[in-house]
Amino acid sequence: MTRSTPAGTSKPTDQWAALLQKEMMSTGRLPPGEGWYTLQELRKSHGGSEKQVRTAVNKLVERGQAERFAGSKPGPSGLPRQCVWYRLKS
């Protein structure tokens, strides 16, 4: 069995690496619907320290006034990174 290497690649794994990176960059698990914000977005719009905002949001989630969604989105490098969004329940 012979392995073919695509043009411009030095070995078969280069093709896999390129395809995997492209797929990882295009995917993410984003929250459904509208009104979701990350802690960083909430902190920028409402002020306060990261700890204060996180504590307040966690209390809202515990009381059932807000919901949490754990997912992922492309980071600065283009690769997916874990992210948590929050929104108020209506």
Q: Supply the pLDDT for residue 77.
A: 80
Residue 56, pLDDT above cutoff 90: yes
Is 18 contained in some domain? no
Within-domain flag for 22: no
6 occurs within a structural domain: no
Residue 42 in domain: yes
Q: Is residue 4 part of a domain?
A: no
Cβ atoms of 35 and 89 closer than 8 Å: no
Does position 3 have pLDDT exceeding 60, yes or no?
no
Q: What is the CATH number of the domain that holds 72?
A: 1.10.10.10
Q: Residue 83 has what pLDDT?
A: 94
Does residue 11 have a pLDDT over 60?
Answer: yes
Is 46 domain-assigned?
yes
Overall number of domains in the chain: 1
Q: Is 43 exposed, middle or buried (0-12, 13-18, 19+ CB in 10 A)?
A: middle
Q: Is pTM beyond 0.85 here?
A: no
Q: Can you give the residue range of the structural domain that contains 57?
A: 29-88
Tell me the per-residue pLDDT of 20-48, one tens digit each, with 9 for 90 and over: 766 665 667 889 999 999 999 999 998 88
